[in-house]
Structure 1
């Protein structure tokens, strides 16, 4: 009923706004809103929830084509056999803000000079303010043979809604041999996810009694196991202790499924091509900016929405903001980063809308990557992607393996996501961090 109501409301809004427009449809958009949000992921819903409550109906539109909303951080647990896939998905209609208009279509073009976006159905939507929250594009074709091999014969990826549901079955069926895990030569959402499934799989092999018959190999295109040394050194030590073979600057370029071969380019050795036989392989696919952003006037040279790293405002078009994975913000692309980004963006956007001159809120680069290293083991990495320095919430050294942190990430944070972030009320743990500062012991890094 809610989905039907939303679609009907959207259709009525389209027709009504198009009908009352007095100007020629050739020069005026088919619809116009105070705020248009592109994307129904966590960033888009957080912003649209807050702003639509403030402005009321017919003022905020969310453009999102999907019928489903996924809480993707849970997919590591799904792939590791610790959560059901059903816990990670809800109908988009159930999470869409009631005061926002849901336009269930794709954006194909931006025209920021005329404050409009074009939809796949050919209509245009006008705005006074635009928030781009379109996520990241997964480029399955970036690895030859991967798309056809995915989900079959031991080839899987927790970055795909269908494939993630097969990962644990493949791990259960594994009887020994080479278990291969990859990290791409590109930005990606949740950059800790490839290592998480590696550690969970290694533990699963021990529990099923096949570890002594198994070679666990982690091939990463990066130069280290984790980008922030404060946590990366601990992670590398654990990998060594658990006999996980880590090969740096190894970029996956092809899957030869017929021969169970994964072909890598060794970027540390002049691009030397090397083949690894696999019996199981988890692939983190190459990712990049969505094409419709990359080809627009909003993009920087790399294809991301070109925003100020402090204010999240576009560097050229001052009525445009961006949040999350599609933005040029030089921090890790995680849901945790979006929590803090959303608070900054909403402060700056709302005061613009209200015409109030206030000090701009500033984003400090906060992000978090809960590093799962076992069924009951987690290192709660919290840091600034801008400085690489820890921004830890709790008054303990969070580099330690923690059962409590695992419970927090697995059971508590999903509830905060669904009931707090998506509804606009959760903007990250900064207030808690400040509260704990008074009892936080000073320590050397």
Structure 2
């Protein structure tokens, strides 16, 4: 190099092996010893792809050295896939505090992590695809997980190993399989070629390469036929294909190209391989009503088969009973195609798969039905619910609680998954229908239960959830393991802290965590449906004297440790606890018989009993028998008006004294208690945390 070196960072990437990153103003040289030979790659700092490759290599070099088992690297938990499910489960496992450096491993060869639910916003011109992705190694910075930047090519469940692309076999104690699903573009003839054409008449929100072409195609279309397709079978976010249709139609309507009456310049059709527009009847009825009001054609049971170069598309439609499906061809000027989707071949051809090719797991516990140390969640699992990111927020805590319970030798069915999933359906710019349901299409609405509103009605508040809140909370909390969907945020102590506890919003809403049954140190981890967790002890806050520099620790004969912080009036930091066998403290009679209190101790606290407080209050103002009688009379006549505070203010005594001599009737106390409980339900997060913290401190002291 012709320029001076600015810095050198030494990286350890193997036993006794090291590599270095040498940085210069314009470029950097990276050497790694991850392979038998040292590889040096010259990287241009201005090229984001090269910089990302550098980060990936550096991340692998920083990864802890994994222990070996039979000559293979081994980990307690190996997670296949670094998508929404893999990242969420990895971070939630790490936050339990039960795993050390290198106990967890992530297997994924991708360089980037994409927020795919946001691609609908990209296709509507509301966001860019670049702002919805993050370098995959950056998401692992706050964990001690080992990352293998290679994909899995074979599962060996009988040997508890997986095989990577370069032939390395990684051993595991528990395996979590969540690599997602694959877009089968090749199943629609001519689709991939049509997407690559410069005409831009065929677009799709389901590819990072093609999503940026969707909104320009919508803007450029001034007349003709626009067809939006949805294939039969599994689809990532089943509502996404029609979201593109609703937003495009709304854009054309605002541009004056569509109208409810008369002839529109653009005809909009929704061709779905399913018999209905949406699987849940409540939302299907609402969506059909909107569709009819906006004059959108519904082509039910039209499954896309082929895209022709002549701007024609062929669809498979059912025939009469006993006859094979027939094919119909439709003309289009714009085609938004959703590709058929299914499990990855490496999963479908493995011993883990069911008949459909997905990882065969129990619908309630997420545990494999045949291999007890294998788990799965997200799109790759056989869980019979819609495949959305919202579903993962409910699946991940259940999987983590049950996996940890199984590792501890306890119950592996501590938590159960009820099939919850959510689909924010963008029906127009500025409004969203928030569909929430569980197994069997049963409604499970968050805001409907809290506020009694109908979530089948599109609302602007839900639009801002979809557009602004969800993308921010996804990278800020969900993939960091601190977001539990409708149950709110989870709060956790740093890994390695003495308490090693986690807290969630369920702590304050009366829904205790099932993870408490796995391990006492994993208290209040993730809210689940397990009722047995109610029997677990409450969380204890960290002792404020534990790390105080002035605190003294005194082991007792009972095996306990007494921690005391000397008062600030003490002239020297010597112990204020006697170390002799008599266990005499400065506040106890000494061996010499002297009961005098040392001068450095603070004054004695006043009595805390209600009777003693009332006596002190009465001493400040002596009340006559007539005044006491009048107090009781007023209290009995109108207990709502003459509260303890009002009477205390009138007669110049304390409210405690009033409540002792003239307590409110039982009925009034019950009504006030109910009002107080109703008021607590409207508390915000900060208020709940403050009250819970004060309560915990009182219990501790």
Structure 1 CA distance for aligned equivalents of residues 63 and 144 of structure 2: 13
TM-superposition CA deviations, 1:185-211 (whole Å, max 9, x none): 220100000111101011111122322
Return the offset for 1:71.
0.3
Residue among 192, 195, 218 paired with 1:147 = 192
Structure 2 CA distance for aligned equivalents of residues 359 and 197 of structure 1: 40
Match of 2:318 in 1: 267
Unaligned stretches of 5+ residues in structure 2: 1-50, 259-263, 489-504, 512-676, 682-701
Mapping of 1:262-411 within 5 angstroms? 262-269=313-320, 270-357=324-411, 360-384=414-438, 386-394=439-447, 395=451, 396-411=453-468
- Match of 2:283, SS state, is helix
- Structure 1 window deviating more from structure 2 (145-154 vs 352-361): it is 352-361
Higher relative contact order (CA 8 A, sep 6+): 1
**Equivalent pair of 1:33/1:59 in contact (CA under 8 Å):** yes
**Equivalent pair of 1:251/1:267 in contact (CA under 8 Å):** no
Return the offset for 1:435.
5.4
Answering whether residue 117 of structure 2 is matched by residue 73 of structure 1, we say: yes
Structure 2 CA distance for aligned equivalents of residues 199 and 134 of structure 1: 30
Match of 1:236 in 2: 288
Residue among 28, 31, 48 paired with 2:90 = 48
Structure 1 CA distance for aligned equivalents of residues 76 and 401 of structure 2: 16
**Equivalent pair of 2:55/2:137 in contact (CA under 8 Å):** no
Return the offset for 1:413.
1.3
**Equivalent pair of 2:402/2:411 in contact (CA under 8 Å):** no
Answering whether residue 181 of structure 2 is matched by residue 124 of structure 1, we say: no
User: Normalising by the residue count of structure 2, what TM-score does the alignment of the two structures yield?
Assistant: 0.59
Unaligned stretches of 5+ residues in structure 1: 441-445
Answering whether residue 249 of structure 2 is matched by residue 202 of structure 1, we say: yes
**Equivalent pair of 2:52/2:135 in contact (CA under 8 Å):** no
Q: 1:246 to 1:268 in 2, by over 3 A?
A: farther
Match of 1:168 in 2: 215
**Equivalent pair of 1:183/1:251 in contact (CA under 8 Å):** yes
Return the offset for 1:12.
7.2
Q: 1:12 to 1:205 in 2, by over 3 A?
A: closer
- Structure 1 window deviating more from structure 2 (353-362 vs 104-113): it is 353-362
Structure of higher CA gyration radius: 2
- Match of 2:238, SS state, is coil
Match of 1:181 in 2: 228
- Structure 1 window deviating more from structure 2 (412-421 vs 130-139): it is 412-421
Residue among 470, 473, 483 paired with 1:416 = 473
Q: Count residues in correspondence.
A: 430
Structure 2 CA distance for aligned equivalents of residues 29 and 44 of structure 1: 26
**Structural RMSD (CA):** 2.3
Match of 2:272 in 1: 220
User: Normalising by the residue count of structure 1, what TM-score does the alignment of the two structures yield?
Assistant: 0.92
**Equivalent pair of 2:277/2:288 in contact (CA under 8 Å):** yes
Structure 2 CA distance for aligned equivalents of residues 261 and 5 of structure 1: 45
Return the offset for 1:6.
5.7
